[in-house]
Copies of this chain bind each other. A is one copy, B any other.
């Protein structure tokens, strides 16, 4: 058991634990006891103090330090940290977030949460991936230059429309949202060249929204559609089509995923528009933020 100049690996890429168990035989008996403890439960070891670990290995602190040096660490604290990191990393895989699909009938809430979040996040990511920046750019330009922006959406998409309207309004763009079809139609009839009509419909089949867009288009306004289905009817009345990528899961959470995707798109457009005129947008935002300040209670503070 001749021990060579102990400092073997100055760098142990494959993983600290592997590294340690690799040079386990080259360690002195007392150090081996320490090593075995460490290898068998890195996370637990990371939580222990040096005295603790020494006691558990039936040895002294000095030996633990020697062990640290033997495996290439500066000292115990460093080992601890590396162990913690290592442990965290290796818990990851067994986690197995298969969640992709549907929610099983017997699911408990934790599963439900995981599934929904996974789907929601995916919808957002995938939407971003398939969004065409060129089209966005044109839409941003149209909105930036518009004298007026009408935003349409029914039901769930109505929330998004309303959100968009509010966002644009806050940076000083003249935007409207109409919860009611008749009002919307009336408004669309008043649009003209240079205005923008923005219709949101997840399915792309909401007749109300389509009608209104159509009306707007005949009046010369630039029409934009935001839908999940690139070949749905609404795309036929739109100059620009933006799509979300919420895969149809079940009737249940699908709705929310698509909503999130829509909001993300809307946010991108919003930021794009705001970025076109930073100072003005910032100013407007500050002013509006101040406006609600008096409705906030101060002390966001409380300690145990």
Contacts and interface: CB of A to CB of B under 8 A. Distances in A.
Interface of A: 25-26, 46-47, 49, 69-70, 77, 80-82, 84-89, 92, 103, 105, 107-110, 112-114, 116-118, 120-122, 124-125, 127-129, 131, 133, 136-137, 140, 154-156, 159, 162-163, 166, 203-208, 210, 229, 231-233, 236, 247-248, 251-253, 256, 259-260, 263-264, 266-268, 270-272, 274-275, 278, 285, 289, 292, 295-304
Nearest to A272: B109
Contacts of A121: 121-122, 124-125
Given A46-B81, A109-B272, A116-B267, 8 more contacts: A88-B89, A107-B275, A112-B272, A116-B128, A118-B125, A121-B122, A206-B296, A232-B300
Given A128-B113, A159-B163, A264-B116, A274 B252 contact: yes
B154 A131 contact: no
B301 A26 contact: yes
A302 B140 CA distance: 27
A6 B207 CA distance: 47
Contacts of A49: 77
